[in-house]
Amino acid sequence: MDIKFTAEEQAFREEVRAFLKAKLPKDLSEKIRTHRQLTKDDIIRWQKILYEQGWGAPGWPKQFGGTGWSPIQKAIFAEECALAHAPGQLPFGLSMVAPVIMAFGNDVQKERFLPRILSADDWWCQGYSEPGAGSDLASLKTRAERDGDHYIVNGQKTWTTLGQHADWMFCLVRTDPNVKKQEGISFLLIDMKTPGITVRPIQLLDGSREVNEVFLENVRVPVENLVGEENKGWTYAKFLLGHERSGIAGVGTNKAELRRLKEIASTEMKNGRPLIEDPAFRARVARLEIELEALEMTDLRVLAAVQQGTSPGPEASMLKIKGTEIRQELYNLIRQASGPQALAYQPEAIEDPEADYIGPEYALTAAPVYFNNRKITIYGGSNEIQKNIISKMILGL
């Protein structure tokens, strides 16, 4: 057993650090550090900087313009980005639809879509969930009927993250209603400018506007936008889930937030002393750090196995559960640390980094970020569903 990084991996870490120091715009890192909202342009700007460096797609093979990095390198990159407060890369194109196109798409689709994902010229959103199909995704009802060279799509998608900015949506649709529910689903790429598409924003409990309902009414989608074979969409979706999960533990982000929690608790005063000196609070921070250290090792164990060729199976479910629980507890403690001043709700200042606000900077976003992050145990396969997977696949129950 040797749990140190190799010299090459260390050198790689230094290279990533130097790049971030030179190229990460201060206004973006400041927004991330203080949990402000990113604009569409912010996210595109950062993707283009990475793209110019040749690091636009850490997860892709070299032949498509990716980095070809090893799993450990990808983890190092993600961690350094998080610690430097770099914006996250938009996952929908890069790590959700692209792997499916690479594996199952035709050459025309690869040439048409992949480069524009890499360069952030196309913004993608994920059209899976429907009002009646959440955890039970395979029961989705949105219909696609063949009409000559087109599919006519009718139905409704919901919870579509950042769909308001999207140029394209990858979508699961029902092409055969007369077979077992998993067997009649297809994977379609839909241009969001097509007539018949209406996007309605859904406001979340913290006031943010990041999800949408997408209504599809007689939307004509060219048959060439079908990925792979008709009625094989469920297989592709399951393949995608494997990809959605690499980096799912969010160790880097959790470390960055732990650091922030410690800073806040050193600033906030309790009975005339910094809060972090309160033994009860300090013990809770320590408990969380112990959990996070263990999660980091679990994550590295899985990565090392992947590096040796095993694919991350149900273990990824464990990483998702623990990673999200730790993240939620971090935001919980940040909220609690902020004390009475966390009461104030000042959405204008969260959106506009130039706007005035009252109270300390950390209290501004403490409660909204805590509330917003209740989502992470719901989406991407809820934690209950992840536990069902573990009990079935690992425990054989």
Partner 1 sequence: MDFSLTDEQRMLQDTVERLVADQYGFEERRGYMKHPQGFDPAIWGQMAELGLLGVPFSEEVGGFGGGAVETMLVMEAFGKGLVLEPYVASVLTAGALIADAGSDAQKSEILEALVGGELRLAFAHTEADNRYSETLVSTGAEKQGGGYALTGEKVAVLHGDSADKLVITARTAGEADDAQGLSVFLVDADAKGVTVTGYPTNDGLRAANVKLDGVQVGADALIGEEGQTAELIRLTLDRGAFAVCAEAVGAMSKACDITLEYIKQRKQFGVPIGTFQSIQHRMVEMRIALEQARSATMKAAARLQDGTADERRKAVSAAKVQVGEGGQFVAEWGVQLHGGIGMTEEYNLPHYAKRLVMIDHQFGDVDHHLNRFSAMMDMPESA
| Among the residue ranges 72-80, 144-152, 248-256, 381-389, the one whose residues contact partner 1 (CB under 8 A) | 381-389
Smallest gap from Cβ 129 to ligand FAD, in A, equals 3
Neighbours of 152 (CB within 10 A): 17
Q: How far apart are CA 395 and CA 366, in angstroms?
A: 38
Smallest gap from Cβ 169 to ligand FAD, in A, equals 9
Q: How far apart are CA 351 and CA 40, in angstroms?
A: 12
Spell out the residues 6+ positions from residue 288 whose beta carbon is closer than 8 angstroms to its own: 258, 261, 326, 329, 330, 333
Which residues partner with 214 through β-bridges?
157, 199
Would you call 216 exposed, middle or buried from its count of C-beta atoms within 10 A (0-12, 13-18, 19+)? buried
Q: Which of 210, 244, 268, 315 is catalytic?
A: 244
- Amino acid occupying residue 353: P
Q: Contact 164/212 with Cβ under 8 angstroms?
A: yes
Name which position in 115, 134, 313, 339 contacts ligand FAD (CB under 6 A). Answer: 134
Smallest gap from Cβ 136 to ligand FAD, in A, equals 6
Which residues, 141 to 160, sit near partner 1 by CB under 8 A?
A: 158-159
Contact partner at residue 343 from ligand FAD, partner 1, none, CB < 5 to 8 Å by partner kind: partner 1
379 binds ligand FAD (CB under 6 A): yes
211 binds ligand FAD (CB under 6 A): yes
Q: How far is CA 5 from CA 1, 12, 73, 249, 312, in A?
A: 12, 10, 10, 19, 21
Looking at the Cβ atoms of 85 and 165, the one nearer to ligand FAD is 165
83 binds ligand FAD (CB under 6 A): no
Which residues partner with 133 through β-bridges?
130
| Among the residue ranges 13-21, 102-110, 251-259, 271-279, the one whose residues contact partner 1 (CB under 8 A) | 271-279
| Among the residue ranges 11-19, 43-51, 263-271, 377-385, the one whose residues contact ligand FAD (CB under 6 A) | 377-385
SS3 for 173? strand
89 binds partner 1 (CB under 8 A): no
305 binds ligand FAD (CB under 6 A): no
Which of 99, 104, 107 has its CA nearest to residue 227?
104
Contact partner at residue 344 from ligand FAD, partner 1, none, CB < 5 to 8 Å by partner kind: partner 1
SS3 for 396? coil
140 binds ligand FAD (CB under 6 A): no
Would you call 340 exposed, middle or buried from its count of C-beta atoms within 10 A (0-12, 13-18, 19+)? exposed
**In the block, which residue shows the tokens 């950042």?**
162
203 binds partner 1 (CB under 8 A): yes
Which residues, 212 to 231, sit near partner 1 by CB under 8 A?
A: none
| Among the residue ranges 76-84, 129-137, 311-319, 333-341, the one whose residues contact ligand FAD (CB under 6 A) | 129-137
Burial string for 271-310 (b: 16+ CB within 10 Å, else e) reads eeeebbebeebeebbeebbeebeebbebbbebbeebeeee
Q: Is 244 a catalytic residue?
A: yes
385 binds ligand FAD (CB under 6 A): yes
205 binds partner 1 (CB under 8 A): yes
Which of the residues are catalytic?
Answer: 244
Q: Which residues are at the interface with ligand FAD (CB under 6 A)?
A: 126, 128-129, 134-135, 159-161, 211, 375, 378-379, 382, 384-385, 388
Q: Which residues are at the interface with partner 1 (CB under 8 A)?
A: 129, 132, 134-136, 139, 158-159, 202-207, 211, 268-272, 275, 278, 280-281, 335-336, 339-346, 358-360, 367-368, 370-371, 374-375, 377-379, 382-384, 387
